[in-house]
Structure formats: structure tokens, C-alpha cells
């Protein structure tokens, strides 16, 4: 019979002037919601507006990464400040370029693009399920 000791994590006391914990995730959530909103707009036949929203969200993320301290960025702070900023700027500019340079599609092109997106999403779901199932077979580490 094994006994497990459960320890409660102690939190450091917050200073009086400190910002709430959820505020540190706000820039990441803004970028994520901007990209998700752009994808939703693209899905309902507004490719240019959706791509513009995604580009703006990525560029906003680059600006936030440049100006805010790491404690307020959440998952936007992955690598060094310069690499994160350049990556977000390059991705934002590429999305904006694609949005402005591709001519409007007809209905057949939109259906094919939507089918391709569904195929990619299905492949990601299958891959995630495989990873989840293989993780459960191996059991917990230790």
C-alpha cells in the first residue's frame, strides 16, 4: 500500500501595488483572440478582413513583446525579446502581404480552401488523439 503526500503550493504574497495575476495573460489572450477572430472571418467569406485582423493581432503582439516586461506577457515571451519580436513582425507582415496580394476567389476556390482547412484540422485532431492515447498507455512517469 503506497501513501502519497500531497503538498499544497504556497503562493508568494502580493504587494499592494501589484497587478492581478490574470492581467499577465491579457496581451497573449488579445493576440490569440485576434488570430481566432481573423480565422473566423476567413471561414465566413471575408478573407481580406480576416487576414488583416490576423496581421494586426500579430503586429500588436510584437509591439507588446517589445514594450512590456516578461512578467506581463504570458506565453508571448518564449525566447529572447529580439527573436520573439522579429518572428511576430515577419509573420504579421507576411499575412498582410498575402491578404493584399491574392485576388478575390470565386465560390469554387473558397470551397476548396475550406475543404483543405477541414482536412488539416482533422489531421491535427487525429495526431492529438494518438499522442493522448500513447501517453495513457505508458502510464504516469516515475
Q: Are residues 50 and 95 in the same domain?
A: yes
pTM of the model: 0.60
73 and 50, same structural domain?
Answer: yes
Q: How large is the average pLDDT for residues 63-82?
A: 84
* Residue 97 forms part of a structural domain: yes
Residues 68 and 137 reside in one and the same domain: no
Residues 109 and 63 in one domain: no
Shared domain check, 32 and 93: yes
Q: What is the DSSP string of 19-60?
A: PPGGGGGHHHHHHHHHHHHHHHHHHTT-HHHHHHHHHHHHHH
Residue 84: give the domain boundaries: 21-103
Residue 138 has pLDDT above 90, yes or no: no
121 and 89 co-located in one domain: no
Of residues 86 and 135, the one with the higher pLDDT is 86
- Does the residue 93 lie in any domain? yes
- Rounded CA gap, 84 and 77, in Å? 7
The long-range contacts involving 115-122, CB below 8 angstroms and separated by at least 24 positions, are 117/43
The pLDDT of residue 26 is 85
Tell me the pLDDT tens digit for each residue of 21-47.
666 678 888 999 999 999 999 888 888
Amino acid at each position: 500500500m503506497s501513501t502519497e503526500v500531497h503538498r499544497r503550493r504556497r503562493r508568494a504574497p502580493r504587494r499592494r501595488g501589484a497587478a492581478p495575476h490574470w492581467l499577465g495573460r491579457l496581451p497573449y489572450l488579445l493576440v490569440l483572440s485576434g488570430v481566432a477572430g481573423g480565422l473566423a472571418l476567413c471561414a465566413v467569406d471575408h478573407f481580406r478582413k480576416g487576414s488583416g485582423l490576423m496581421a494586426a493581432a500579430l503586429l500588436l503582439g510584437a509591439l507588446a513583446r517589445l514594450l512590456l516586461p516578461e512578467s506581463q506577457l504570458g506565453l508571448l515571451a518564449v525566447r529572447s525579446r529580439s527573436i520573439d519580436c522579429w518572428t511576430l513582425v515577419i509573420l504579421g507582415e507576411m499575412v498582410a502581404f498575402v491578404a493584399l496580394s491574392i485576388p478575390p476567389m470565386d465560390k469554387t476556390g473558397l470551397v476548396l480552401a475550406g475543404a483543405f482547412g477541414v482536412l488539416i484540422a482533422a489531421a491535427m485532431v487525429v495526431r492529438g488523439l494518438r499522442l493522448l492515447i500513447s501517453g495513457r498507455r505508458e502510464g504516469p512517469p516515475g
